Amino acid sequence: MNRRFFLASVAATGLVRPARAESFEVTLTDAEWRARLTPAQYAVLRQEDTERAGSSPLDGEQRSGTFACAGCDLPLFSADHKYDSGTGWPSFWQPLPGAVGTRPDPGLFGSRTEVHCRRCGGHLGHVFDDGPDPTGKRYCMNGAAMAFRAA
């Protein structure tokens, strides 16, 4: 097995993702992102990591308010659209208008749809088609990617 074949095989699994072609309003250097974010926020928002299920206090957050991007403070989700999915991650049936972008996220066990902040491109989580009415969507978000602003 040569190096080129090995790298192509790993890329095909989705474990290594190609560089993003999109451009975003908020663009910082890697050093600036590291200075702005906690290690957990950086891992999720900039390296597309996933926090451990049940580890975020935002999963149990029940007050009225807004969930904003921890990277650029863009309002993402209304607390009115949050529900308990039983997954261990904050879940919503709908984002705020124009708040998020999506893209295919191929992986070893099939393809998912990745959700990111439309302003800074920070990775938020994934959206699935097993949510409640009225949308049938489950926006399964990493709490480390967001900050809660009480009403």
Catalytic residue set: 140
Residues 6+ positions from 66 with CB-CB distance below 8 Å: 75, 76, 77, 78, 79, 96, 148, 149, 151
DSSP the chain: --HHHHHHHHHHHTSSPPPP----SS---HHHHHHHS-HHHHHHHHH---PPTT--GGGG--SSEEEEETTT--EEEEGGGEE--SSSS-EES-PPTT-EEEEEEEETTEEEEEEEETTT--EEEEEES---TTT--EEEE-GGGEEEEE-
